[in-house]
Amino acid sequence: MKKNVTVNIDDLTQYLNTHQSEFEKDLCELLRIPSVSADSNHAADVRRAGQWVVDQLKSFSLDAELLENGGHPLVYAESPAVPGAPTVLVYGHYDVQPPDPLDEWISPPFEPTERDGDLFARGATDDKGQMLTHVKSAQAWIETVGRLPIQLKYIIEGEEEVGSGHLESFIAAQPKKLACDCVVISDSCQFAPGQPAITYGLRGIAYYELHLIGPKQDLHSGTFGGGVANPAGALAKMLAALVDDQGRIQLPGFYDDVLPLTDAEREQFQSLPFDEQAFMRQLDVEALSGETGYSTLERRWARPTCDVNGLWSGYQGEGAKTVLPAKAGAKFSFRLVPDQDPEKITESLREFVASHTPPGIQVELIDYHGAPGVVMPLDSPYVKAAAAAIEKGFGRAPVFIREGGSIPIVTTFAHTLGAPVLLLGWGQSDDNTHSPNEKFSVADFHRGTRTSAFLWQALAAIDPQKSG
């Protein structure tokens, strides 16, 4: 196909405007599928959601298929190549986090409900709603112009929320399918309502589960307490030893490879209109905490951390029970920054755990998943094109930010494809991702779709030969 066609942007905009309620209806259909990747009881639902995405893409004649890849299936699709124009890879995920705790949802997690301009459902913003903007924008192009101005490839996976364990090998085995000039991902946030952002850095992650095992069964804490090691107490002590009073992680060598923040970047963070008081009000906390010597944005975006994600042991029922539990366990994770290596962290953790295990306790450490952090350059025509499309779609130029969350495959994209990765988040930081009452602003859904439609055109103007 030829690169140049006369495109009437008004036709596109009009199509997007007149199809808004249809797009919302489609999004709700996808949100009704409980595609919880972590829960094997939902494996069939995960697959159904993947098939739904395939059918959407096929409905406007893209070549789409559901690929088996060891775990939950992968959606792959592509449009015809456009000589002289870039090939753009869209990545997203159709799986979601578990909806627990269920009793805190105002409306059920898989019954999408609109309230005050927000659509509430698990996956609304992370990532079904954001991902769908790049599908609907392609639909708009094909149904009004007849074709896309660039070649689009889609990889929409069903395992992002469990660490993207099978995607890496797919990428290694299918270099042709993945060949592209840039990657576009909407799976992050704007800086604030009305202030869109381009994200140039993500933290990595290293996630573990730890089991401490004491006596063969729960014991009377009066008869045995004091004479037998208590796994719950030992676990509390071990977890507490991981971080000191200054918020510094105590694993030997943990900070060895940490890329320090430059003065320029610290100034750039400082210049962002971040309102600490409003942030505290949003979370209903009276104080913030973290590593001494760093601002809140620095702590959240560019410094490594440790968080306990789950903790269990002993009696959880009503009233008091004098028991010395036989077992205790925890799920916890480190957020990593460039250039920390998750495997090195695991080695150091194994030694730490062994040296902090008291006599009479057995330990088992499970290594769930790990991914390094990433910071990406901003000096490319692709970033400029994205900024221009955002300004047009949102009515305001984006600010450049880092994020504390992780998208495991982004590091692989950035390092192995040699193509710029554009992280264009349409969400808000109070969208309750992974929490009860997840939501996505309906207006942001449409602004994101419009921006995506503009982006395809802005990217078409780039000569991939000159800016590879």
Residues with active-site annotation: 95, 160
Residue type, 47: R
Q: Which stretch binds ligand BES (CB under 6 A): 99-107, 142-150, 351-359, 399-407?
A: 399-407
Query: For the CA atoms of 99, 102, 108, 109, what is the dihedral angle to 10 degrees?
Result: -10
At its nearest, how many Å lie between Mn ion and the CB of residue 210?
Answer: 23
**Of residues 247, 182, 181, the one with CA closest to residue 465:** 181
161 makes contact with ligand BES (CB under 6 A): yes
Contacts to ligand BES from residues 108-147, by CB under 6 A: 126-127
CB of 221 to Mn ion, least distance (A): 40
Q: How far is the CB of 404 from ligand BES (least distance, A)?
A: 7
Among 160, 431, 438, 444, binds ligand BES (CB under 6 A): 160
- Window 402-431: contact mask with ligand BES (x via CB under 6 A): -x-xxxx-----------------------
Q: Does position 331 bind ligand BES by CB under 6 A? A: no
Query: Candidates 186-194, 262-270, 377-385, 386-394 — which segment interacts with ligand BES by CB under 6 A?
Result: 186-194
- Residue 448, interface with ligand BES (CB under 6 A)? no
- Which stretch in 66-74, 105-113, 187-195, 280-288 sits in contact with ligand BES by CB under 6 A? 187-195
| Nearest to ligand BES of 84, 165 (CB atom) | 165
Between 327 and 402, CB nearer to Mn ion:
402
Minimum CB–partner distance for residue 310 and Mn ion (Å): 16
Where does this chain bind ligand BES (CB under 6 A)?
A: 126-127, 160-161, 163, 187-189, 202, 205, 369, 403, 405-408
